[in-house]
Amino acid sequence: MAFDGIVTHAVAHELNETIAGGRITKVRQPTKQDMTLTIRAGRVNHTLLLSVNSQFARVHLTEDSYEQPAEPPMFCMMLRKHLDGAFLRRVEQAGMERMLTLVIDGRNDLGDPAEKHVHIEIMGKHANILLVDPSENRILDAIKHLPPSVNSFRTILPGQPYIGPPAQDKLNPLTVAKDDILRKLDANQGRIDRQLVHNFSGISPLVAGEITHRAGLGRIERTAETFLDMMQEIQAHTYNPCIAENDGKEYFSAVLLTRYGKDAADAESISRLLDKFYSGKAERDRVKQRAHDLERLLKNEWEKNERKITKLEETQKQAEATKEAQKYGELLTAHMHLIQQGMTEVEVMDYYDEESPYIKIALDEAKTPSENAQSYFSKYTKAKNSERYTAEQIEATKAESAYLERLLQQLDAASPEDVAEIREELEEEGYVKQKTAKKKRKKQKAPVLDAYESSEGIQLFVGKNNKQNEYLSMRYARQSDTWLHTKDIPGSHVLIRAEDFSEETLQEAAVLAAYFSKARESSSVPVDYTLIRHVRKPKGAKPGFVTYDNQKTIFVTPDSAEIQQLKNNTKKENETS
């Protein structure tokens, strides 16, 4: 990935073309690192995402929706005070750096016009969003505070003067001439692409590699000409947003990555491309942050259960071996006349064996013959009871391990909203301590199911955690609905909300079941389907666990593009209605 100066330039141009002059109607902060501004421009509401996520820092228009916290953070409240109802005059980029400024026309407490600046610094782990009063060059607040003890060059605290990041003393690639480029490049000083990154602002290693690839091997003059050709396209705002893959890694850029075989743009705008590239990745990162402790807990519990099963199976083998004690007790009883107290062993005929061989049986010299026989009978009884107990424990522990494995799979496919339901379930099951003593609970709301729509317009529903699965299968479904689940693989419950449907709809529902399962990365995944009336929950079973019969099996291969299309079908239906 490369959110470089060129991508930033493309974003700034798109924002000026799309939302400049628009009115800010909503200011929200869904996470500690993300802000969204709803801006109404051209009679359309646009959502502008500002993210300072250390791995996914970015700015672009988005179509994704974000869950809002119950109480907005202080920085969000400060932005609302100064930006709510204000107008976005323009978006400025600092040279070709990864820094944007939203120039806002608002009003102060007295109702007089007051300009405010929102600086977005898109710089990896140093990314930040700052609200600044330009009349005094004073910081009003920032999403990340940096005291002098952390950063001696610039203090980022309310009331402090705004100082930009340290200058890198690089040339602006949009204003240089061919001679400027030639003076900075030296064929004898190593790789040309690294020299481009070192000398020109906004040029990432990805773009530098693309320039040298287009120039080919040869004279430095050819590299300079290729560089200028690309910069002329950028100056003319001729962008070709694309996503390319190489060695299992994905890259995006505002220019065509011909070195990776790209010959056409993948999106009509840079924001659509960034939305496509970051959407799932950023959500997975948010889930990882929220669910890190749960994932560690579940893995520890699962590993503990696996060790317990191993020990129980060893105990079971020992109990199996001790079953010989019954035979020894009966042989001693039959040969009691041969035994005297004080003997350490006795040789008797084993009439349980067809060949009736003589075997030696160990004795306790302190016990009478009768007590020795009784001792072997006691060992047998103990082994028999132990075998029954360990068998029950193994079955229960394996069931719990399967339950934990289902939860781990659900966390892997969970949205941030799903994590809260999984955490609540673990509290109810006693795996996680409740942080505070809960008051008398209000009537719980029904879980929100993940909705999709098949190609023929039939509703498909997916339960992405045990609470949703149980609600979908035991309460929401109608008797005539069709239920799907991966065969012998942890995964989601899927419902076809119709009595009559085509083979294509069945195939699409099966793809959903395979995709939201542990077999997401596999091919030819077996998916069982049956009418919901054949699905039952055993008494006392863990949440989300069911049994079913009268099923048929279909084999499908999960496809993320098909999943997105099924989700898009739902969005189109909502827009139409």
pLDDT tens digits for range 153-171: 899 999 999 999 988 889 9
**What is the DSSP secondary structure assignment for residue 144, as one 8-state letter?**
S
- Cα atoms found within 13 Å of the Cα of residue 322, Cβ hemisphere only: 19
The answer, yes or no, to whether residue 443 has pLDDT greater than 60, is no
Q: Which two tokens stand for residue 101?
A: 């400024």
The answer, yes or no, to whether residue 217 has pLDDT greater than 80, is no
Domain residue extents for the chain: 5-142, 178-266, 300-408, 450-576
| Exposure string for 12-44, b = 16+ CB within 10 A, e = fewer | bbbbbebbbebebeebbbbbebbbbbebebeee
Residue pointed to by tokens 């400060």: 78
Query: How far lies 164's CA from each of 98, 125, 139, 215, 446, in Å?
Result: 12, 16, 11, 35, 49
Among residues 60, 68, 105, 62, the alpha carbon closest in space to that of 85 is found at 105
- Per the model's pLDDT, the better-predicted residue between 568 and 451 turns out to be 451
Query: Rounded CA gap, 389 and 381, in Å?
Result: 12
Return the pLDDT at 316. 82
Identity of the amino acid at 171: L
Given pLDDT bands bounded at 50, 70 and 90, which one contains residue 577? very low
Q: How many CB atoms lie within 10 A of CB 77?
A: 13
What is 178-266's CATH number, 1.10.8, 1.20.950, 1.10.10, 3.40.50?
1.10.8
- 3-state SS, residue 140: strand
Identity of the amino acid at 137: N
Return the pLDDT at 436. 54
Helices marked H in 251-368 — which ranges? 270-322, 324-334
Phi-psi region at 97: left, alpha or beta (left = phi > 0; alpha = psi -120 to 50): beta
The answer, yes or no, to whether residue 351 has pLDDT greater than 50, is yes
383-429 tens-digit pLDDT: 888 888 888 899 889 989 988 988 888 887 777 778 888 888 888 88
- Per the model's pLDDT, the better-predicted residue between 414 and 458 turns out to be 458
Return the pLDDT at 424. 83
* Phi, psi angle pair for 65, to nearest 5°: -105, 150
Burial environment of residue 167 by CB neighbours within 10 A (0 to 12, 13 to 18, 19 or more): exposed
182-207 tens-digit pLDDT: 999 988 887 899 999 999 999 999 99
Report the CATH superfamily, name and number, of domain 5-142.
Answer: ibrinogen binding protein from staphylococcus aureus domain (2.30.310.10)
- 163 and 133 Cβ atoms separated by less than 8 Å: no
The answer, yes or no, to whether residue 438 has pLDDT greater than 60, is no
Q: What is the mean pLDDT of the chain?
A: 89
220-263 tens-digit pLDDT: 999 999 999 999 999 999 999 999 988 888 899 999 999 998 88
Name, in order, each residue with C-beta under 8 angstroms of 172's C-beta and a sequence gap of 6 or more. Answer: 95, 96, 200, 201, 202
- 3-state SS, residue 213: helix
Handedness of CA 321, 326, 328, 331 (dihedral sign): negative
Residue pointed to by tokens 């807990």: 297
Return the ∠ at Cα 375 (arms to 373 and 381), rounded to 5°.
110
260-291 tens-digit pLDDT: 988 887 888 999 999 888 877 776 776 777 77
Query: Rounded CA gap, 165 and 160, in Å?
Result: 15
Query: Rounded CA gap, 161 and 80, in Å?
Result: 21
Helix or strand (DSSP H, E) at 360: strand 358-362
Among residues 5, 564, 10, the alpha carbon closest in space to that of 271 is found at 10
Query: Rounded CA gap, 525 and 518, in Å?
Result: 10
Cα torsion for 398, 402, 404, 405, to the nearest 10°?
130
13-64 tens-digit pLDDT: 999 999 999 999 999 999 889 999 999 999 999 999 999 988 889 999 998 8
- DSSP letters, 427-478, are HHTTSS--SS---SPPPPPPPPPEEEE-TTS-EEEEE-SHHHHHHIIIII--
118-154 tens-digit pLDDT: 999 998 889 999 999 999 999 999 999 999 988 878 9
Query: Rounded CA gap, 188 and 184, in Å?
Result: 12
Among residues 19, 136, 138, 35, the alpha carbon closest in space to that of 80 is found at 35
